[in-house]
Structure 1
């Protein structure tokens, strides 16, 4: 029976070490579509990230958003200020990136194996998730990587020549966490690559895509979402 709306649920994913963790799944109205592994900010798979998963599901994608902090504390869901901010930073600092990429590789494999996924699988990540999305392009077996305000990605640009999948970066010109110098370093690392895009949005701050934050910028968010969908449609066939 065909679906008339998206369907959401928490699913179990088996990690490479045999343990299991949760991921929020959003299925498109047709019940299946190309895959997106959606990677959270430092605030967990909170209401906003679940909303983004549902947004991409309405665009026709089968989306899973894995809980990236589960090894330390499962089900982290935080706001953006005060003690929540401090707790989010602590979780980020405690995250082991190689282990996180291993878990994302498991999530990618699980999504590919799902009957609800009938096309390529891309990673889309925000902030912390933006860096992890880039690493997914290197090590997790995705077909494309989308990276929003990926602070710290410059630490991994030494591996730029190893990146073999189409990749797109989104930065805000007024981001006080990511210097414009780092944006230019990212652009320069992929000079001559027509399958790598770097977009910079005027008047946009860190977190410009998050409608739950004071830094939300509707114009930049809409442009970036459009660029993302165009990139996914044209680069993942």
Structure 2
């Protein structure tokens, strides 16, 4: 674990995993309501094994430092109680500090799970230095549909979430065509977490495949071009076209 400091002076810990060779970029992993658990650390280790600096900030530290909870109802209740005490602006500040801590490794992706998925979606338009965002199971994300996305955004949803009807996801897709949102049949919330009874191997593998492709495309690849009226994937602006000369494309001169 390392120690970081947010812009408001708050300090917090973070789990960091480094690749064996020169990094391809960095991945910031945002925890669910259970904290920076061994599972979250395992996810960070997996990204590091793929060649990225991976870091998972302990967003609970502002309220109760150094805690994580088991994947059961008691753990969920305790984690939810802590997350409710953390203002979104405070979490965003901690995320910004985390991104700043690894940006020397290259471009930075943000990946969040459940509560962290909602935070990742919000941070995408508020935190500087992010190249792309991936969110899993963000139940509140679909209510945050009004703003165009500033970076490429990929979302994974289960199809059986009592907190998030499938119809709401369908409506979100209509509102935000600039977001790539996938649903996974016969899956429930937490389908990507191996430590939970909700784990669904096939769905988790497919979501991970899409996640790794997304990161490779936007962290290792070239910056996407800002297209006129597309608004969503604006990381690099193209140079304005030079004004056409007066006689350009007007055909041969008249006699």
TM-score normalised by L of structure 2: 0.82
* Cα drift, residue 101 of structure 1: 0.7
CA distance in 2, matches of 1:22, 1:99: 14
Gapped regions of structure 1 (runs ≥ 5): 1-9
Deviant stretches of 4+, over 2 Å: none
User: Is residue 173 of structure 1 aligned with residue 159 of structure 2?
Assistant: yes
Distance 2:22 2:68 in 1: 27
Unaligned runs of 5+ in 2: 222-255
Q: How does 1:19-168 map to 2 (within 5 A)?
A: 19-113=10-104, 117=105, 119-141=106-128, 142-159=130-147, 161=148, 163-168=149-154
More deviation in 212-221 or 132-141? 132-141
Which residue number corresponds to residue 201 of structure 2? 218
How many angstroms apart in 2 are the aligned matches of 1:175 and 1:82? Answer: 16
Normalized per residue, the structure richer in helix is: 1
Q: 1:19 to 1:99 in 2, by over 3 A?
A: closer
Q: Distance in 2 between matches of 1:217 and 1:95?
A: 30
CA distance in 2, matches of 1:170, 1:81: 22
How far is 1:133 from its partner? 0.7
| Bigger radius of gyration | 2
**8 Å CA contact retained: 2:10, 2:62:** no
Q: TM-score, normalised by structure 1?
A: 0.88
How far did 1:31 drift?
A: 4.9
Root mean square deviation of aligned Cα: 1.3
